[in-house]
Amino acid sequence: MKKPNQICCTSEISSASAEVEALHPHTEASDAEEDHLTASKRPRLDTMVLEKSEELDFPVDPHVLCQTFGFSAGPSAEVCSWGQIDCLKIKSCTPDSLKVLSPALPTFFCLRSLTLQNSSIFKENDVLEVAAALKKLSDSSCSSLTELSIGVLPSIEFMMTLVESFPRLTSLSVEIQKSIWLPLAIFNHSLSTESELPLEKLTVKISDDETDVRFITSLLSRSPHLTTLHLVGMRPTGSTQKRLISTLSVSNRHLRFLNFEDMKLCGCLPEILNLLTGCKLEELQLSDCRLLENCVNQEDSVQQLVAALKVVPSLCKLSLAQNRLTKSVCILAHLFSGSSESPIKHLDISSNFILPADLLEFAKRLRSHSPLQALTLDLRKNPADRDLDTWNKALQRLHPFRLILDNGWKSTDTMVDHVSNM
């Protein structure tokens, strides 16, 4: 069976050159071989080459792109055939890289997956040029692109620009960091929910507390087929997060994998409980979400969460890492009690400042319920060294289960984090 052509590029910013590892239909490089590859004598992506490229008759075909970014897999390596690049990854995508890529992109009819990553923030004009190229590709009935990963974007509005440029995407991953040089009135996006999108996987990583998440909720409401959602770093105040979770409950009932990371979800427990009602989740990760931070009675809140989780018949993996569960961890043992035992097979309670005495109580309750499923417990980064004897007793009681532990880790690191976020 033929493997798709894949190109993985790494553009060096200092020299404006690019290197690529290529897998062709009849050539496969092993890990050992990759370490000893020798760059072929091909044009370097420097200023001189770019000046000459301006005289070329664009659009550039994939054959030319391979030569420009080329890194030969050996003397017998085949050059990518015309239009047969399925996967393109540029790990350090500079403006010079985009000058070559953007004119060629509309001709990549066989391209299914495109990744453009850079350590610095993309300039708005560069993103708009990529969006224009994607629009031309989208206008062709021959285009095959379904997956796009890009970052770092200067604002969330650019995410919407890319979506509108290629609305047939089924997988989108973006990283966003607010730029200080971005004009305030560069966009005028409407938040229409009329046009349905085929999006199935969405990942959004944000490092800006002031990001307008209405664009996220608008995108979610237009994506009824969404099965995977990963949101990182969204920490706005007020009822914004509640509206986001409520949107999931209404518009995204086919979600199977939900991952909230580094989000401020304190006060959102009622919305989360409602989301769990009748959902099809297989994995739920609420990591570093301050889920129980403002609860008047934390143990009662955990009991409500446990009751809601137990009635999700498809849930196999649950992560509550970095939520400061402390003593409330004991209540999680009731996930596996009674006639409606949870089918969870992997429980992550790492980094929750669980003291040895609390883990021992958790172990006693868990053993009394005897989960029917094989269970994996992630106990890393909890202060075992506060009372090693008690901690080891707890581990002995948990010996029927698979445990994920860390050796030589100091609890003082946890305490600093715990106090700094109280």
> Which pLDDT does position 23 carry in this prediction?
32
Total domains, the chain: 1
Confirm whether 232 is domain-assigned. yes
Residue 328 scores a pLDDT above 80: yes
Confirm whether 281 is domain-assigned. yes
Among candidates 29, 11, 18, 17, which has minimal Cα distance to 77? 29
CA 225/CA 250 separation, integer angstroms:
12
Confirm whether 375 is domain-assigned. yes
pLDDT range class, residue 55, cuts 50, 70, 90: very low
Q: Which whole number is the average pLDDT over 122-146? A: 95
Confirm whether 369 is domain-assigned. yes
Residue 162 scores a pLDDT above 90: yes
More confident residue, 356 or 48: 356
> Which pLDDT does position 299 carry in this prediction?
93
> Which pLDDT does position 295 carry in this prediction?
86
Residue 268 scores a pLDDT above 50: yes
Encode pLDDT of 173-218 as tens digits: 999 998 765 554 455 555 555 689 999 999 999 987 777 788 999 9
> Which pLDDT does position 237 carry in this prediction?
59
Confirm whether 264 is domain-assigned. yes
Asked if 230 and 261 count as a contact pair (C-beta separation under 8 A), the reply is: yes
What would the 3-class secondary structure string for 25-60 be? CCECCCHHHHCCCCCCCCCCCCHHHHHHHCCCCCCC
CATH number at residue 273: 3.80.10.10
Cα→Cα distances 360→2, 300, 302, 389, 402, Å? 54, 21, 18, 11, 16
Residue 109 scores a pLDDT above 70: yes
Asked if 330 and 365 count as a contact pair (C-beta separation under 8 A), the reply is: yes
Whole-model pTM: value is: 0.82
> Which pLDDT does position 178 carry in this prediction?
82
Q: Which whole number is the average pLDDT over 126-130? A: 96
Other CB atoms within 10 Å distance of the CB of residue 108: 26
Confirm whether 300 is domain-assigned. yes
> Which pLDDT does position 287 carry in this prediction?
97
Residue 61 scores a pLDDT above 70: no
Confirm whether 162 is domain-assigned. yes
Residue 22 scores a pLDDT above 50: no
Residue 116 scores a pLDDT above 60: yes
> Which pLDDT does position 170 carry in this prediction?
98
| Domain span including residue 237 | 113-119+145-180+192-418
> Which pLDDT does position 406 carry in this prediction?
82
Residue 81 scores a pLDDT above 90: no
Encode pLDDT of 381-392 as tens digits: 999 999 999 999
% of the chain surpassing 70 pLDDT: 73
What are phi and psi for residue 197, nearest 5 degrees?
Answer: -115, 150
Confirm whether 15 is domain-assigned. no
More confident residue, 7 or 254: 254
> Which pLDDT does position 75 carry in this prediction?
42
